[in-house]
Structure 1
Amino acid sequence: MSKNLATLIGFSAILQWSAIVGLLKRISSSIGPDYAVAFMYSFSAIILLILFRIPNLKVIPKKYFISATILFVVYELCFSYAIALAQSPQQAIEISLVNYLWPSMTIAALILFKELKFNPFVILGLAVSLSGIVLIQTGNGAFSWTSVFDNIMANPVSYFLAFLGAALWSLYCVITKKYSNGHNPIALFFIVITAVLWSKMYFLHSMPVLPSLELDTLFCMLAVSIVTALGYAAWNIGIIKGNITLLVTLSYFSPLISSVFSMLILQTHLAAAFWHGAILVTLGSFICWISTNWEYLKKILRPEK
């Protein structure tokens, strides 16, 4: 597989992921967050097993497999429950923007792992992205730290899970690129998280009664499982065999694309402050990328004669 094709496949993951927030929130509103998350990963695991089967563990570096599995499982728990526990469709979309801090965090992680050189503008980029999240919390009213704090404290668990998930996913991307040796055990990751979720349901909640499933809920459940499974499969191919820097750059548009998808799926209205904040999150990520690729960009813009 060529590097360009792998990068294109990785980009398709960004489009597929954009539908997850809206679909998952619709399912959780119907059958509750625990069943919504458990069913999503269960069906996704089945799809991935059909596509990739169980890989040979003997050829996968053990340190990578253990660390990547832990990061992946904890990230997925953070992200999915952050969305599922949102108190309203609008809040679910707002919380999803916190998760999209991960592109900027990935650049920072690449620097920590000495894959990229440090540039002070990375700090500026992170600050701009965070300012976008803060702006979203103000709504359309006048800015005040009190209103921002009150909005976050209305559902602190979801906001914390989304932020922690963003940090964990950035580490997962870097570790997968650096230590996977080209292996893609994504199906095993989903099997592990499915086992964790059903064990949690059984031991902590004694398997609550499943509400009746309407046709619309079943359709959304199937759709979110497909885009989740194929999205992660495509992303792993992209970051292992493609251009991870370009993929991170393309992912900067995720906050805007995902917000549009979620708004349509959840049939909700987003305030102007939200879109301004989403643009700042995207802009901050671009600043991070440009600051660490400035020499490369200069060669493109001013090629040597």
Structure 2
Amino acid sequence: MNNKKATLIGLSAVVLWSSIVGLIRGVSEHLGATGGAAAIYTVASVFLLASVGFPKLNTLPKRYLLWGSLLFVAYELCLSLSIGYANTGRQAIEVGMVNYLWPTFTLIAAIAFTGQRANLLVVPGFILSMLGICWVLGGDQGIDPAGMLANVRDNPLSYGLAFVGAIIWAAYCAVTTRMAKGKNGVTPFFMMVAATLWLKFFLGNHTEEMSFTIPALVYLLLAAAAMGFGYAAWNVGILHGNVTVLAGASYFIPVFSSALSAALLHAPLPKSFWIGASMVCAGSILCWLATRSGKLARMRPGAVAES
């Protein structure tokens, strides 16, 4: 496969991932937060089996299989349930934005635990990302501590899961970079996520009913395809395409995601939100530039430890 084609395939992953927040929310509105997420990861696992395949488990490093699977499952649970538990479409978009702190947290984890070198740009990058999230959560007024606190108090579970998820993904990237040895366990990891969600669904006391209407099935297939094929496409791009182009594009996912989610969920966003989202993107880019390396660009979901 030539470099240009592989890069285009990798860029398609950016579009697919940008739609995830809106699509997960659409599925949860029809099938419930837990049942909807379980259905998404089940169908996505089928897509991954068809596109990526199932690795021989005995070829995966045992430490990676253990810690990688635990962290991966924990992250995906935080991501999907934080969006599903959101009270409104706009809140789901805000929760998704909180989750997009992962590139910044990944850099901090890499510096702390993997010896990643970085220059002083990391400081304004980190500050800008955090201020961007504060701007987003402040509502129509921008940075407004009282408004931000009231916003979080309205649904602390969703915002908390999204924030914890960003930290968990940073830990996953640090762990898999050192333990994976070039192996990719994304397919069995996805199957573990699906199994965990179904277990939670059947053991829990869920009041929402799963309504498999035509719109629900369309959202489900689109969400699963965005998840499964997004991982597969990114792997192709990272392995055979232009990593620099892909890395640059990936840091604009928060803005792309917000735009697509706002359209899918019919949730208009104020000017203050876009300012905050742009700040998050800019902060992530500064953190990336601080490393002066493409290494962290590979730490997108499903594309760790590739070489």
Q: Give TM-score, length-normalised by structure 2.
A: 0.87
Deviations 1:266-298 (A, max 9, x none): 12210000000001001111111222229xxxx
Show the counterpart of 1:124. Answer: 124
Deviations 1:164-221 (A, max 9, x none): 111222232343344322222211011111111111112223x767443221111111
- CA contact 2:86–2:158 (8 Å) conserved in 1: yes
Show the counterpart of 2:149. Answer: 149
- CA contact 1:97–1:255 (8 Å) conserved in 2: yes
Show the counterpart of 1:255. Answer: 254
One-letter amino acid matched to 2:95: I
Show the counterpart of 1:235. Answer: 234
Paired with 2:88 and 2:169, the residues of 1 have a C-alpha distance of 25
Show the counterpart of 1:196. Answer: 196
* 1:232, distance to aligned residue in structure 2 (A): 2.2
Paired with 1:243 and 1:66, the residues of 2 have a C-alpha distance of 31
- CA contact 1:128–1:283 (8 Å) conserved in 2: yes
Q: State yes or no: 1:214 paired with 2:213.
A: yes
Show the counterpart of 1:293. Answer: 292
Identity %: 38
Paired with 1:29 and 1:23, the residues of 2 have a C-alpha distance of 10
Secondary structure in 1 aligned to 2:252? helix
Deviations 1:99-150 (A, max 9, x none): 1111112222222234521333312211111101111122223743121111
- Relative to structure 1, the CA distance from residue 241 to residue 182 in structure 2 (aligned partners, 3 Å threshold; closer, same or farther) is farther
Q: State yes or no: 1:84 paired with 2:84.
A: yes
One-letter amino acid matched to 2:222: A
* 1:71, distance to aligned residue in structure 2 (A): 1.1
Greater Cα shift, 178-187 or 111-120: 111-120
Q: Give TM-score, length-normalised by structure 1.
A: 0.87
Show the counterpart of 2:276. Answer: 277
- CA contact 1:3–1:243 (8 Å) conserved in 2: yes
Show the counterpart of 1:185. Answer: 185
- Relative to structure 1, the CA distance from residue 236 to residue 153 in structure 2 (aligned partners, 3 Å threshold; closer, same or farther) is farther
Larger radius of gyration: 1
Paired with 1:115 and 1:234, the residues of 2 have a C-alpha distance of 29
One-letter amino acid matched to 1:215: I
* 1:27, distance to aligned residue in structure 2 (A): 1.6
* 1:151, distance to aligned residue in structure 2 (A): 0.9
Question: Could you list the runs of 5+ residues in structure 2 that have no partner in the other structure?
Answer: 294-307
Greater Cα shift, 269-278 or 133-142: 133-142
- Relative to structure 1, the CA distance from residue 4 to residue 188 in structure 2 (aligned partners, 3 Å threshold; closer, same or farther) is farther
One-letter amino acid matched to 1:169: W
Q: State yes or no: 1:41 paired with 2:41.
A: yes
Show the counterpart of 1:52. Answer: 52
Paired with 2:245 and 2:115, the residues of 1 have a C-alpha distance of 14
- CA contact 1:87–1:155 (8 Å) conserved in 2: yes
Paired with 1:235 and 1:64, the residues of 2 have a C-alpha distance of 20
- Relative to structure 1, the CA distance from residue 42 to residue 134 in structure 2 (aligned partners, 3 Å threshold; closer, same or farther) is same
* 1:2, distance to aligned residue in structure 2 (A): 7.3
* 1:248, distance to aligned residue in structure 2 (A): 4.2
Show the counterpart of 2:136. Answer: 136
- CA contact 1:176–1:240 (8 Å) conserved in 2: no
- Relative to structure 1, the CA distance from residue 164 to residue 142 in structure 2 (aligned partners, 3 Å threshold; closer, same or farther) is closer
Paired with 1:21 and 1:176, the residues of 2 have a C-alpha distance of 25
Greater Cα shift, 141-150 or 269-278: 141-150
Show the counterpart of 1:268. Answer: 267
Greater Cα shift, 244-253 or 219-228: 244-253
CA RMSD of aligned residues (A): 2.4
- CA contact 2:79–2:165 (8 Å) conserved in 1: yes
One-letter amino acid matched to 2:211: S
* 1:245, distance to aligned residue in structure 2 (A): 6.8
Greater Cα shift, 285-294 or 158-167: 285-294
Greater Cα shift, 160-169 or 242-251: 242-251
Question: Could you list the runs of 5+ residues in structure 1 that have no partner in the other structure?
Answer: 295-305
* 1:69, distance to aligned residue in structure 2 (A): 0.7
One-letter amino acid matched to 1:82: S
Show the counterpart of 2:305. Answer: none
Show the counterpart of 1:69. Answer: 69
One-letter amino acid matched to 1:277: G
- Relative to structure 1, the CA distance from residue 236 to residue 113 in structure 2 (aligned partners, 3 Å threshold; closer, same or farther) is farther
